[in-house]
Amino acid sequence: MTRQDLLPGLALVAAIALPLVAPGYLVDVGMLVFFLAFIGQSWNISGGFAGQTSFGHAVFFGTGAYTSTILQITFGWNPWLAWPAAMLAGAIVGWIIAVLSFRAGLRGSYFALITLAFAEAFRILANSLPFTHGGLGMLIKADPRPANFQFRDPIWFYYLALGLCIVSLLIAWQLTRGRFGARLVAVRENEDAARALGIDVFAEKVKALSLSGAIAAAGGTFYAQKYLYIDPNIAFGVDKSIEMLLVTMVGGAGTIFGPLLGAFALTGINEATRALASVVPALKNVQPLSLIVYGVMLILIVGRLPDGLTVLFRRIRRHA
Amino acid sequence: MLEASGVSKSFGGLKAVDSASLDVQAGEIVALIGPNGAGKTTLFATLAGFHRPDAGRIVFDGREITGEPPHRICAAGMVRTFQITQPFAKISVRENLMVGAYLRVDSRSEARRRAEAAATQVGMAGQLDRLGAALTVAGRKRLELARALATGPRLLLLDEVMAGLNPTEIAEIVEIIRAIRASGITILLIEHVMQAVTSLADRVYVLNQGRMIAEGTPAEIAGNSDVVEAYLGHGAAKVLRA
């Protein structure tokens, strides 16, 4: 076993130990990192591995958040039970969008725009339908009991996010070593060659988007339970879609650790710019400053490091 | 093994393939030749399911496959390569080949083994770890061939695997193709390199302007005046004989 193989193990131990030693603020930031990495991985499966860039992944996130919240508030379901139902809903929405757009032969930017249109349509629907309570949003009654998927101590959300993140990493790891993942990469790299080699390109893309939808929806439920409030903009807004895309692109699309690295980088920038804006008065009105930094970073990454930050790690490892 | 009858395919007003028929017997190497733009690649793409023919029937191994999608045809045992090579650029040669191998096996180690066997068969065992994008033209042509082999086909459709290669590389590919046939795989190939066609093919079909104008052994084809004229222009056969 080399020193590099120990790295993930050490990182895991550090992640588990963090809440025991760090202040609450850092635990919250850590929770955000793992949560972002989790929903980023959802984007990574369809966008990174299968190469189907989406601008509207919030459609799955929001479907998950609303499904579990409606089941809980309107139908009295236990949120733990509503969670898999939300994932199923996310998978179904993924399946429907995939079948509609890939049957129509949409690729590249056309597919990206269609996903954006779906997310916007869902946002507008959530804004106007009675069972989503429209623009008022939905408030989950605070009742902090673990059986209720609510915790008094934020540490538990931290560990839950960590667990989700690990599961998503395992899924991505499985993709890098199995048949399904190999087929997705083949589809991304060259659809014609993939078809010639016996791959049902349409079916694989549909599977990828359904899986991706289920994972993003799981993130939506997690979000709703953590903040106990969702509205159409939070759930289906463009911000979420961009966040999921950005962490993956920045970290490295189609890699196992890309979304996690990207989540670290973006959350770090977010916190740093917020701190900076509170210290430097001139920056107070430039809000949110983080978006400008994100933008610059994305330009740099796309221009200089198209394979994301993971490449830096690989370079370091090669020199080590 | 493969029987195409009356296959036609038009794009807009252009009849790229016009009622073409061919058949390939198990164990044969059959060549499809013809001037540029004759419709050879279109016919190949149609056989392999990339285009739906406007008319005609395609039967593979006694089963009609007309209009079936490429992945089914590949699963049935007929696989094509591309004239313009289509490597999976950002993954290694080994991973490229494993994509092909996964058609028949689910296990990673077995796919790896088959990928390596296919690489050895085409003489690129030493390049397994290179990226698809890092290969030379000759390397890419071999990759096309190996990837198709990795799917475990019974009939290979090779589209100009020798184009752009130097004479040494061509001689190597010719040997590789012979060995592939010896391993029990039937081959239909499009080729411009006539020396390779004469040394490899049992039978030759000639396509010109979408129509099949001749069929026979390489020697018969070389003496066919229709074929000579298709390549050199009207009246050329007479001039040559004089």
Tokens of A120: 């916007």
User: Minimal Cα distance from B73: which residue of A?
Assistant: A198
Residue labelled with tokens 């490899």: B200
Q: Would residue B41 count as lying in a domain? A: yes
Structural domain boundaries in chain A: 3-319
pLDDT at B234: 77
Q: Do B102 and A190 touch (CB under 8 A)?
A: no
B202, B193, B176, B187: which is closest to B153 by C-alpha?
A: B187
> What Rg value do the Cα atoms of chain A yield, rounded?
20
Q: Is the CB of residue A3 less than 8 Å away from at least one CB of chain B?
A: no
User: Minimal Cα distance from B95: which residue of A?
Assistant: A182
Domain with B82, as residue range(s), is: 2-87+153-241
Tokens of A136: 């008022």
Q: Would residue B74 count as lying in a domain? A: yes
How would you write B135-193 as a 3-class SS string? CCHHHHHHHHHHHHHHCCCCEEEEECCCCCCCHHHHHHHHHHHHHHHHCCCEEEEECCC
Give the residue from B65, B91, B99, B145 with the most A CB atoms within 10 Å of its CB, the best one to mutate.
Answer: B99
Chain A residues lying within 8 Å of B103, measured CB to CB: 197-199
A37, A264, A67: which is closest to A164 by C-alpha?
A: A37
Chain A: give the shortest CA distance to residue B106, in Å: 6
pLDDT at A287: 66
Give the residue from B65, B71, B114 with the most A CB atoms within 10 Å of its CB, the best one to mutate.
Answer: B71
Per the CB < 8 A criterion, the answer to whether B109 and B91 are in contact is no
pLDDT at A180 over 60: yes
Q: Measured at the alpha carbon of residue A311, what is the angle toward residues A307 and A315, in degrees to the nearest 5?
A: 150
- CA–CA gap between residue A59 and residue A69 (Å, rounded): 15
pLDDT at A274: 83
Q: How confident is the model at residue A273 (pLDDT cuts 50, 70, 90)?
A: confident
Residues A182-207 have a mean pLDDT of 96
Tokens of B22: 């061919």
Q: Which amino acid is at A197?
A: L
What pTM value is reported for the model? 0.91
Q: How confident is the model at residue A296 (pLDDT cuts 50, 70, 90)?
A: confident
Q: Is the CB of residue B75 less than 8 Å away from at least one CB of chain A?
A: yes
Q: Across A196-319, where does the E strand assignment appear?
A: 229-230
**A69 Cβ contact partners less than 8 Å away, ≥ 6 residues apart:** A82, A138, A140, A221, A224, A230
pLDDT at A8 over 90: no
Architecture of domain A3-319: Orthogonal Bundle (1.10)
Give, for B212, the enclosing helix (H) or strand (E).
Answer: strand B211-216
pLDDT at A4: 64
pLDDT at A214 over 70: yes
* CATH number of the domain encompassing residue B213: 3.40.50.300
- Across chain A, mean pLDDT equals 92
Q: B216 has which bridge partners?
A: B204
pLDDT at A3: 63
Tokens of B15: 């009849």
CB pairs under 8 A between A and B: 74
Q: How confident is the model at residue A199 (pLDDT cuts 50, 70, 90)?
A: very high
A305 three-class SS: coil
Residues A60-67 have a mean pLDDT of 98
Q: How confident is the model at residue A295 (pLDDT cuts 50, 70, 90)?
A: confident
pLDDT at A123: 97
**Cα diameter, chain B:** 64
Residue labelled with tokens 């807004």: A237
Q: Do B82 and A196 touch (CB under 8 A)?
A: yes
Number of separate domains in chain B: 1
Tokens of B235: 């009246």
pLDDT at A319: 63
Q: How confident is the model at residue A225 (pLDDT cuts 50, 70, 90)?
A: very high
Q: Do B75 and A193 touch (CB under 8 A)?
A: no
Residue labelled with tokens 């033209």: B137
Q: Which amino acid is at A209?
A: L
> What Rg value do the Cα atoms of chain B yield, rounded?
18
Tokens of A273: 């710019």
Tokens of A156: 């538990």
Chain B: give the shortest CA distance to residue A201, in Å: 8
Low-confidence ranges of chain B (pLDDT < 70): 242
Chain A: give the shortest CA distance to residue B50, in Å: 8
B108, B53, B118: which is closest to B79 by C-alpha?
A: B118
Span A115-169, pLDDT tens digits = 999 999 999 999 999 999 998 999 999 989 999 999 999 899 999 999 999 999 9
